[in-house]
Every structure is written in C-alpha cells, then in structure tokens.
Chain A
Amino acid sequence: MELLDLLHDPDISLRSPEKVMDPTTLGSARLTRLSFSRSMIRRAASKNWKLKRTSIDLDESGRGQIIYRVDAEGYIFHFVAFTTTIDESLHTDRVIADAWEISAALIEGELDEAFLDLLNREVPKQEDGRLDSRVLALTRGNRSVRFYEYLVDQLASGSQPEPSLVGDAGYIMRSTAFYGNGKFGMRSFLGYESEHPLFAPYRAQFLAAWLFRETSYDSVEYCAQIRNPEKAVSFDKDWNQFFGLGNSTGLGLVPWAMKHPEEVNAWVGVRELALANVRKLDGSPERKRLLEKWIDQAYHHFSSFNGEDCWPWKGPDSLSEAILEIHRTFSSMTDEDHPFDALYLWAENQGPEVNELVVSLLLELDETSDEVVDELLRVDTSAVSDLSITIEDLEKRLTENYSWLEQLDLESSAADHYWWVYSDHAEEPRRADRSILDPEHRDVPIDIALRLNHLKKDLDKADKTTKVSIFLQDFPHHGIAINRLMKDSGPYGEPRENVCDLNHLPLNLQRFQLAMYGMDNFKAQSTDWLRVTLFQGAPRIAELNADTFDDWVWPQQPKREQEKILHD
C-alpha cells in the first residue's frame, strides 16, 4: 500500500499534523526502532552481512590507512579510511575546515590499486575532491582531543578507561559530515536498484558511519599495541560497545528539511503509523514485559550519566526522573484494555520531551517489518503537477492544507528578518540579517511560509477560473509556492514554522532529523548547532551475526573496576 493512502486512511487513528509538525514537538523527537542507524544494523544482522577489516597500516600516532570489506546480499562494499594528525588549533566542528584527521569513503565493488590511488588523492580533499559513481558516501572528522590519547595510553598500559574521565561524551572520534547522493560525482540515491542492500534512505551513509565508529575503536586498540606490544590490552566487554561516533551538526539540516517535504512526510509518517499500531494493541503480558524492559533500559542509561538540563532540552538527570514517572504511571495502567494508549494519552500532558520519549519507548512494541518500512520511506518525487487546474482549486488547497500559516504572523517585521545563504567557504549554510545584507539573488529559497503568504495575496486578486499554467505566465516567481501546493507531500510534509523569522530556532528541525537518523545525547552549543552521538551501544562488526538483538541503544556507562568488584 502507498504511504499517502495509509496516512489518509480514516480507519487509522493518527496524531494530528498540528501537534506532530509543531516545531517544539519536532525538537523533542528521540531515536526509535525506525531510526536509520537501527534499521541498518537489523538489516545487516538479518541478511547475514559479513564485515571484516582487510588491512590496517598505522604508525604509533595512528596515521595511515584502514580498509574494511562488506559482503552484503551479493554486493561487495569497501570502506576506506585515511587517517592523519593535525594541530589541535585546526580542529573545528564547522564544515569550513580544510583538514581532518580522518577522511573516508564507502565504495561499491572491488578495490584495485588505481582506484585506491584515486581515493587516496581525492577523499582527503573532501568538498574539493572529484569522485565517481563507484563511491556511495564520503565522510570526515577528527579525534576527540580529550579522549583519544588517553584511551591509547590506558590500553597500552594494560588498563581500561576511567569512566569519570571519558564516559560523559561517549565517543572517540567526531564526524562533521556525511555526503552522498550525487555530491562531488558520487552515485545518485536513485541509482540504487530496488534489490540493492543500501536501497533505503541514508543506508549508505549509516553503513559508512558505523564503519567510521569501528575505525575509531580499531585505531585506538592498534596504536596501543604498537606502543606497548607486551602489555597492551583491547577494550573489555563493557567498553567494547559503549563508545559511539560523535557528530556535530549545523544549519545545513534546515534547508534540507524545507526542501524535501515528501521525505519529511515519509519519515514522520512511518513513525506515526507505527505509533497508531501500538496504541491499538492490548496489554498482553509479553508486550507489557517488553515495554517495562525498555523503560528500565532507558532509565539505567540516563541515570548512569550525570547531567543537568542543557538549554533548550532536558539533561540526563531530568530524563531519568521523567522515566521513573513513566514507569510509575504505566504500572498503574497495566490492567486497562489498552494500556499503551493510556500511557500515551497521559504523556500528552507531560510536555513535549516526555511525550516524545514515551513515543520512542512505545514504538519498541511495533512489529511492522523492515521491508515494509523501507518501501514506505522510499518516496517518488518525480510526479509532474497538473497545471490545468484553476485558481479556485489552488486556493482550496491553500485553505485546506496551509491554514496554519495564519498563526505565524507573516506580516510582522520579524517575519522576514533572516534570509538563508551559502557562504563561499565550503558552502556553509548561514542566516543573514536582511537589514544588514541584501540577498541580491543569493537567497536559498526555503522561505516557504513567506512565499505561500505572498502567493495568497496574488491569488486573492486573480480571476478564479484562470488556469494555474496561465497564472504562472504572469507570476513566474510563484513557481516554488505553487509547486508546493500542487504536490501532495502528505499531512506531515511541512514543519509549521517560518524559518526566516527572527525567533526561528534551528535546533528544532536539527534535532528532529538527527533523531530520525538514530542520534542521541543532544547537546546544543548555541541556537544554531549541536553535538550528538550515534551508534552508542551498537555491536562492533566482529560481533554482528544473525542473532544480534536490536536492543543495543541506550547503554549504561561502564563502572569503575572497584565498583564492578563490589557489584559482582
């Protein structure tokens, strides 16, 4: 069945777009079992992908090259990482950096010497490099200045890390970009055939991210071995899955969300369909036990970290308190016919962060197959709009689907305070103050709310029987707004905000997308960028097998050696 048919099915009780697409709700999203990191690892495990490191050639500072090979469903992939060291002063989370300690690519097919030479030459250049359709994803990042050397020294001396020194960040290396889909000559996403194992959205980037994280582990353990072959140890069981991959994210996610309503609708839509499924379920003992297990896991994860709230979001201390309250509440509801629905309804009055945390927990009960979800996520944006409809029809669509624009105060002076622009340094997205800088045709057209508002005024004056195609001949600048109206992206395609408004908070759209990816540990660094962690708790590649269970997220911070002894 098509996604839009499901989302318009009156028999499926979905949350309203008014609630779900509200910026604060979007900015409270958490990872779920549908998040791309988890669905990628489930696919790898269930389809018996074979991953192995085929070469590692590093010096004692960790400079060199690491290659991994992936055999997946008859396809061969390689992840090639080039590593070096750069002065700490050159470390930056911004996309504008010119040098990185790790640069890597995921490629399809076998690696020969000539191809490896090309990768060696082009991959470290990142945005300035030129790749070809054999390359599926390109990434880069840096080591954690605080932790990398410490971890190598600890393992080299035969010790495990001290939790209080490294546990709060939860990563060894931090990525700053994952490129794919035709950028710099790489394979286009639509170029993957339907049976391709990386056919689902962002699966190539997430395979690359998982192997980037593996690179960080291998690099530390290998350097420790070089430095002290006699005494060096590997990470023990507790630490072996704890570290994820850090990531820092800036304004680039906002233009993406505003330019891709069909994709946003699909991401939100599959989550909302899953939530509707779960809310209908009765409270069988197995399901109740499963939810209690997840509540327990979330509690132990957040309570093993110490952390106060970090504006604008709750920190680990508040979250673990909230989870205790969720647990108490659910315990009082277990005799109800539909306890999961009851829990959800309670959560609706607990504020957006608790509400979305409960959604995340409830979704663990959803049993929709990954194949179905992958298909629903794959949207077709190629449909051509029928321009033979009239202005009257167009106005009707505007009224039916965009009445929420009236709540945005689009006539105020704050409404077009900002315009969006790409800087000439690595095409970094920025916001510019209109009163200081004139766009002069350089604006990135993501001012959708403003455009629709302008269109509405011109439609009011137009002859209602005029065809849209004729109207467009006189008003070609309304093309983007009309296209938005003509294509039914679905109920969840539009974040209900004006991204040019003085009070727009980019963090909301950023967190929404990062949660869909499967990232957590959100730490806002300003209104415009944040740090997160992904794959924390995930299996390492050697541990992956068909029995790998999908419960690796939200790991506990490892305990100190003494605490372990006491605990045992």
Chain B
Amino acid sequence: MTSKEIFVAPREIHDLIQRASRVKGCEASVAERIASKITFCEINYGGGIKGWLQLVADDKNCLTETFKSVQVLDSLPSKDSLDFSWNPSIPFAFIAQSLNALQAYGFAWESSPKVPTGDMQIQCVCLNKLNSEKLDSNNKTNKAFSKGLQVNNDEWKKLVGIASRFLLSEKILDDAHSAVYE
C-alpha cells in the first residue's frame, strides 16, 4: 500500500456513500440502495467510489435519475434475450450488483468493455439466458471483511468530505433544544 491508498472496511464505504448520496439529494431508500450497489462493486470490481464521484461531479439530481434508470435491472426479464441502453452512459458501479443477481438466475451479461470496473462508462448491456453460473464473490467479500479494501486515498477524502455534510451542526441542534444527554 502506498500513501495514495488506504484500507477501509466495507461498512465504511456503505455508510459514507449512503450519507453522501443523501447530501446529493437522494431520499433515504434510494441512498441505501445506491450504497449497497457501490459497496458491492468496490468489493468485486473496484472503482465503485470513483464511479460515484464521477457521476455526482456535475449535477446534483443525477444520482436519483441514474438510480431510476437502472432499476429496470432489478426485475427478472420476461424474455431470454434483452438489451439495455443508457444515454448518457452510466458508471458500471450502478449496475454491477443487479447484473450479478441476474446471473444467479441464469442470465449471462455482456458489456463493453468486457471486464469493467466501477468507474467505466456503460452505454449498453446485453442479457442472454444461458444458464450462466453465478459469480463466486465469496472470496473477495471474505477478504474485504477480514482485511479491508484498498481504495484511493484522494477519492476517499473527497467522499468523506461530501458525507460529512450529512451531519447537522451541534450548535443548530443545541439552539433548537434537541434532546440530548444532559
């Protein structure tokens, strides 16, 4: 590990993406699902955090819109062969988890590039019912839980910075007489 990288626990990614997504305007349920998708991608493909940061760089509302656009992958397709396309393209991080869930139902998927990481832009995914085998992500997941995940330190700091805005100023809370210990 270099100083450009940092080890983090999967739950830290989940918590920060969830909070940062709230800061970027997402409703809690949407933020929760996005956090789950990004964490899955970071563990299994890498580039999840980078993909999230790229997406939110320009537009505040793009997260919810992107989330809505990928929800179609959360249903089992009624056909054996199907293409999905996005314009503008979306980071792979937002669809990796759904594609792997579909794989468990026998749908092979193909994208360009063929071996993506979370930050790669995807315009089209082809699904084919081929009795494909489920991705065995257990080893990667176990390793992530026991040793942590190595992520880019600059990206991590950016994410921490955005997520910190989810917290509310103690002074505001005190001034509003919010319930507290003493």
Interface residues of A (CB under 8 A from B): 92-94, 96, 130, 132-133, 181-183, 185-193, 250-251, 384, 387-388, 418, 421-425, 427-428, 430-433, 436-437, 441-443, 445, 467, 469-470, 472-473, 476-481, 483, 525-529
How far does the alpha carbon of A192 sit from the alpha carbon of B146 in the complex, in Å? 7
| B115 beta carbon closer than 8 Å to chain A | no
How far does the alpha carbon of A190 sit from the alpha carbon of B172 in the complex, in Å? 37
Which residues, 84 to 135 on B, are CB-close (under 8 Å) to A? 101
How far does the alpha carbon of A550 sit from the alpha carbon of B168 in the complex, in Å? 45
Known: A436-B177, A478-B29. 10 other contacts (CB 8 A): A185-B8, A185-B9, A185-B148, A187-B9, A422-B167, A430-B173, A442-B166, A470-B75, A476-B29, A483-B32
Contact A476 B142 (CB under 8 A): no
Q: Which residues from chain A contact B17 at a C-beta distance below 8 Å?
A: none
Nearest residue, chain B, Cβ from A477:
B27
Interchain residue pairs with CB less than 8 A apart (30): A93-B182, A132-B148, A133-B146, A182-B9, A182-B10, A185-B12, A185-B148, A188-B11, A188-B145, A387-B75, A423-B170, A425-B170, A428-B180, A432-B168, A432-B178, A433-B178, A436-B177, A442-B166, A445-B29, A473-B72, A476-B33, A476-B64, A476-B67, A477-B29, A477-B30, A480-B28, A480-B29, A483-B32, A525-B182, A528-B180
Q: Which residues from chain B contact A478 at a C-beta distance below 8 Å?
A: 29
- Chain B 9-36 interface mask (CB, 8 Å, partner A; 1/0): 1111000000000110111111011000
Contact A480 B181 (CB under 8 A): no
Contact B145 A190 (CB under 8 A): yes
Main secondary structure, interface of A, reads loop
The answer, among A96, A130, A418, for a CB contact under 8 Å with B170, is A96
Q: Which residues from chain A contact B32 at a C-beta distance below 8 Å?
A: 445, 479-480, 483
Contact B9 A188 (CB under 8 A): yes
Main secondary structure, interface of B, reads helix
Contact B74 A387 (CB under 8 A): yes
How far does the alpha carbon of A289 sit from the alpha carbon of B84 in the complex, in Å? 71
Q: Which residues from chain B contact A423 at a C-beta distance below 8 Å?
A: 167-170, 173
Contact A182 B11 (CB under 8 A): yes
Place the interface of chain B in its size category: 35 or more
| A143 CB to nearest B CB, Å | 19
Nearest residue, chain B, Cβ from A445:
B28
| B71 beta carbon closer than 8 Å to chain A | yes
Contact A182 B12 (CB under 8 A): yes
Give the most central of B12, B145, B167, B168: most A CB within 10 Å: B168
- Chain B 42-80 interface mask (CB, 8 Å, partner A; 1/0): 000000000000000000000010011001101110000
Contact B29 A191 (CB under 8 A): no
Contact A421 B173 (CB under 8 A): yes
| A561 CB to nearest B CB, Å | 38
| B147 beta carbon closer than 8 Å to chain A | yes
Contact B30 A479 (CB under 8 A): yes
How far does the alpha carbon of A181 sit from the alpha carbon of B12 in the complex, in Å? 10
The answer, among B12, B29, B148, B179, for a CB contact under 8 Å with A430, is B179
| B81 beta carbon closer than 8 Å to chain A | no
Contact B28 A443 (CB under 8 A): yes
How far does the alpha carbon of A323 sit from the alpha carbon of B166 in the complex, in Å? 49
The answer, among A191, A251, A421, for a CB contact under 8 Å with B168, is A421
How far does the alpha carbon of A96 sit from the alpha carbon of B181 in the complex, in Å? 10
How far does the alpha carbon of A185 sit from the alpha carbon of B26 in the complex, in Å? 26
Q: Which residues from chain B contact A528 at a C-beta distance below 8 Å?
A: 179-181
Q: Which residues from chain B contact A477 at a C-beta distance below 8 Å?
A: 27-30
Q: Which residues from chain A contact B181 at a C-beta distance below 8 Å?
A: 92-94, 250, 525-526, 528-529
Nearest residue, chain B, Cβ from A386:
B76
How far does the alpha carbon of A478 sit from the alpha carbon of B32 in the complex, in Å? 11
